[in-house]
Structure 1
């Protein structure tokens, strides 16, 4: 059996015979996945920021004779294996403003709720009615937006702490580099 490629019309064909409640439940599943993806992107952005910043050291893994690439890879591997709480604890030792640390801790609370407690109240797609799903989709969109904003804000937090030089290029993005990179 040959599978059809996933296209907009394939999805429409799949959804068309479904009841309104089934479609809303499918949307709820989409929203859960989208929230999870934005959470993963946020955690990855924090790790990438910490990895590229020369001033952030990861204790106990960097040898003084290691080549730069190997040190960076070891640092990146160590950061990726750390919890978000551990990453925030490392950042707390590096001139991060109190307001920015409070923000990161607040985002961590939202992350912990989504990962560890969101389904404790049994918000399973097959058990919810339309009104409940609408409410839960709004909550998920809130979390998704929170994680997405944190992904972008981490770089400004690093700028505020003097850990990176941040040049805003408007709609073209930003230029990021370690402070003093080109100083002689």
Structure 2
């Protein structure tokens, strides 16, 4: 077993499995990142660049002890995207983030998996706050943030992406159902 993946917890929600990133995600990720749909998450990217993104996610887990999970549909095993916790050097604050493959949008998967990731951040890692950094034109991500009860907090000048919106998630004490039961 890969020494990194053995330290990445597997989470389950009603419909989804959040698992360690894998090189097997490359084909789906490369197709997504070659499309215009990737414009809000650093794309388009070439296949070799996407491979480096997968490696980057492993590195984040190794350095921070948390990161993005790859997400599969529980019933079919179909890879639907990457959702998790992110705080690389230079980021304004710890983040709950999501990237769904085009075929998986509009099904509530981002909200479902982000709730599990946020609960993990609060209940296991002890975070007392979290943000989501969203492109001002990304209405779909803003809708997910709203479903997570996050609110627009401030604008941030990202060195690569320019002006972005910082959406603040409710604090752990402000959540009614934010405990471990969210992903048990």
One fold, TM greater than 0.5?
A: no
Pick 1 or 2: higher relative contact order, CA cutoff 8 A, min separation 6: 1
Q: Which has the higher helix share?
A: 1
Q: Which has the higher strand share?
A: 2
TM bucket (normalised to shorter chain) is under 0.3
Computing the radius of gyration over CA atoms, which structure comes out larger, 1 or 2? 1
